[in-house]
Chain A
């Protein structure tokens, strides 16, 4: 279902959705863009290309308690998650969430992720690609599912995709703001918008054939050269919308008899990641760990699901302090040379 809304009505609409849950949107503070709690549209920055951390943090927080334990066993901690409406999510990040859904909601459904997913409404918003965006190469520049509502800014008005029954419920809070009447001009405007968006990409990257190039380049010295540069800081994994790895620890309280079992983001870039009891490390070298990450994103995932586990958001490009990212690694493998 696609509806039409006047641009000036967005603010009124967002005020009404606060009835469902707390409103979060992209805000800019001291040059950094994050999803923060907001009261109204005026506090949001809808022009920013990306937030530092993707919206995965709302569905899968950096650290949370899974269980409280005592002598009698483990009691799960569920039910205390606030209802939230996230506004301004870009197509790449919705694709990232769709990949998370596959992982957490299919075989052995994760109740913690499921609860947050259920209580978080995703209101997507169209975006303007910057020099780091590469979603056109990962085929994630547009999105057809995974959101509750999606707002495409067509300058004069919004086209609003309704993606779920909950999204439709939000529309019903202010039905007078939406119209079902779309005409020929709306279609022409939309096709024009798509063409314009496609012309905005500046990053030249071509991921076709990556699985074969990875297979051929498994033993390439390029990996060692990249490994020498890598700092193993793990920032790439924290900012990647499809990184899901975590660690679990028991935190002891009140004299060892009670405590919590907590889960927090882990990174395959860390040395301990593949360490087993007895001291054997399956990925002792930085180059091995780096290769695992890129193999997972650009080879293995394609083999399994027919698309890369990279949504082209550009966060690794923006974040890595030594310029190891999807663009430089895929280019290095193709050209068998690590660029400066």
Chain B
């Protein structure tokens, strides 16, 4: 075929937003009993070099014959060429994914979603609060801030898990405690190993150990089970953080990732294109963001 005079981006010419590209799993290991870690890269080298994303975005992962579902990205765009994500065994697709080994291929499309507003967060203090699986998307932000450390102010990472065995990236985060350029606080609800050397109690307990906060200059980013938002968000408001600087990232059922299938709708917004990152103000004025009852009775 003759080449056109104007070089067109291939993605724009044959634009099918639903077509997955083939990616190869290059690394895989268990993080906990029911969560696996995956590192993948596009089969095509050119795709690998082109692929770019923002912390807080997600991809749609497919297994031919099993289907497709959204997964948040756990890696940072500051380490390009590959993607990392966590998969918890919960349904038929994730059970199959859980068994997929290195060198096998998967369908991947994306990245999708708004991601964290990095342009607004630059220069600010960053406080990251992760509960359980919430660490998966927040690790992307944490690594991104660490990789661009001079661009941000004080960095605090709070992470709570039920037990030491259920803490995602446990060894990695324990190593971070050695670093002097961030304050990394880890806690478990219950230590069933008798070997846990760090704190015990729910994640909100960690706020006592954070030290003074320059609240107007801080962005807090929260991700965890719905019940966690109920306690953490009002706490951050009491600490004096502006509501639009309290961010959260949401989970919803999605079939397209591009604002068409309707499943992730919340009032007039779609979690997939208008989210998954929302602010606490969104939570207060849109009633169904973190589930029934959460914001119904909260006035301030």
Flag whether A74 is at the interface (Cβ < 8 A): yes
Flag whether A196 is at the interface (Cβ < 8 A): no
Interface of A is mostly: mixed
Within 8 Å CB of A280, what residues of B?
226
Mark each residue of chain B from 15 to 28: 1 if its CB lies under 8 Å from any CB of chain A, else 0: 11111111000000
How many angstroms from the CA of A74 to the CA of B21 in the assembled complex? 8
Within 8 Å CB of A170, what residues of B?
none
Residues in B55-69 with C-beta less than 8 Å from chain A:
62, 64-69
Within 8 Å CB of A266, what residues of B?
255, 261-263
Flag whether A66 is at the interface (Cβ < 8 A): yes
Given A219-B296, A273-B253, A276-B252, A245 contacting B262 (CB threshold 8 A) = yes
Flag whether B251 is at the interface (Cβ < 8 A): yes
How many angstroms from the CA of A70 to the CA of B20 in the assembled complex? 12
| Interchain CB contact under 8 A, B252 and A246 | no
Flag whether A238 is at the interface (Cβ < 8 A): no
Given A67-B18, A249-B67, A276-B252, A108 contacting B259 (CB threshold 8 A) = yes
The stretch that binds B, out of A23-31, A291-299, A330-338, is A291-299
Flag whether A73 is at the interface (Cβ < 8 A): yes
Count chain B CB atoms within 10 A of each CB in A73, A107, A304 and give the residue with the most.
A73
Flag whether A7 is at the interface (Cβ < 8 A): no
Flag whether B212 is at the interface (Cβ < 8 A): no
How many angstroms from the CA of A10 to the CA of B253 in the assembled complex? 49
Given A274-B253, A277-B88, A250 contacting B19 (CB threshold 8 A) = no
How many angstroms from the CA of A304 to the CA of B88 in the assembled complex? 36
Number of interface residues of B (CB under 8 A): 42
How many angstroms from the CA of A282 to the CA of B16 in the assembled complex? 30
How many angstroms from the CA of A299 to the CA of B286 in the assembled complex? 12
**CB-based nearest A residue for B109:** A74
Residues in B21-56 with C-beta less than 8 Å from chain A:
21-22
Distance (whole angstroms) from the CB of B290 to the closest CB of chain A: 9
Given A246-B261, A277-B69, A296-B265, A111 contacting B16 (CB threshold 8 A) = yes
How many angstroms from the CA of A103 to the CA of B268 in the assembled complex? 12
| Interchain CB contact under 8 A, A104 and B260 | yes
| Interchain CB contact under 8 A, A73 and B259 | no
Within 8 Å CB of A110, what residues of B?
17-18, 260
Mark each residue of chain A from 232 to 276: 1 if its CB lies under 8 Å from any CB of chain B, else 0: 000000000000111111101000100101000010100001111
Within 8 Å CB of B121, what residues of A?
none
Flag whether A80 is at the interface (Cβ < 8 A): no
Flag whether B211 is at the interface (Cβ < 8 A): no
Within 8 Å CB of A248, what residues of B?
67-68, 255-256, 261
| Interchain CB contact under 8 A, A282 and B17 | no
Within 8 Å CB of A301, what residues of B?
268
| Interchain CB contact under 8 A, A246 and B64 | no
Count chain A CB atoms within 10 A of each CB in B22, B64, B68, B265 and give the residue with the most.
B64
Given A280-B226, A292-B265, A66 contacting B66 (CB threshold 8 A) = no
Within 8 Å CB of B273, what residues of A?
107-108
| Interchain CB contact under 8 A, B65 and A259 | yes
Given A108-B260, A301-B268, A277 contacting B94 (CB threshold 8 A) = yes
Contact among B65, B263, B268, B296 with A252 in the assembled complex (CB-CB below 8 Å): B65
Flag whether B166 is at the interface (Cβ < 8 A): no
| Interchain CB contact under 8 A, B262 and A277 | no
Count chain A CB atoms within 10 A of each CB in B15, B18, B90 and give the residue with the most.
B18
| Interchain CB contact under 8 A, B288 and A277 | no
Within 8 Å CB of A73, what residues of B?
20-22, 105, 107
Within 8 Å CB of B291, what residues of A?
282
How many angstroms from the CA of A256 to the CA of B90 in the assembled complex? 22
| Interchain CB contact under 8 A, B19 and A67 | yes
How many angstroms from the CA of A238 to the CA of B170 in the assembled complex? 48
Flag whether A72 is at the interface (Cβ < 8 A): yes
**CB-based nearest A residue for B20:** A74
| Interchain CB contact under 8 A, A74 and B19 | yes
| Interchain CB contact under 8 A, A275 and B253 | yes
Flag whether B195 is at the interface (Cβ < 8 A): no
Residues in B67-98 with C-beta less than 8 Å from chain A:
67-69, 88, 90-91, 94
**CB-based nearest B residue for A73:** B22
How many angstroms from the CA of A303 to the CA of B266 in the assembled complex? 13
How many angstroms from the CA of A252 to the CA of B92 in the assembled complex? 14
Flag whether B267 is at the interface (Cβ < 8 A): yes
How many angstroms from the CA of A19 to the CA of B19 in the assembled complex? 34
12 intermolecular pairs with C-beta atoms under 8 Å apart:
A67-B18, A73-B22, A73-B107, A74-B20, A103-B260, A108-B273, A111-B15, A219-B296, A246-B260, A247-B255, A282-B288, A300-B268
* Residues of chain A having any CB pair with chain B under 8 Å: 66-67, 69-74, 76, 78, 103-104, 107-111, 218-219, 244-250, 252, 256, 259, 261, 266, 268, 273-280, 282-283, 288, 292, 295-296, 299-301, 303-304
Further 17 A-B residue pairs, CB within 8 A, beyond A74-B64, A107-B273, A248-B261: A71-B64, A103-B259, A111-B15, A111-B16, A245-B263, A246-B255, A246-B256, A246-B260, A246-B262, A250-B62, A250-B68, A261-B68, A277-B90, A280-B226, A282-B291, A283-B288, A296-B267
Nearest 4 interchain pairs by C-beta? A245-B262, A300-B268, A108-B258, A277-B90
* Residues of chain B having any CB pair with chain A under 8 Å: 15-22, 62, 64-69, 88, 90-91, 94, 105, 107, 226, 251-253, 255-256, 258-263, 265, 267-268, 273, 287-288, 291-292, 296
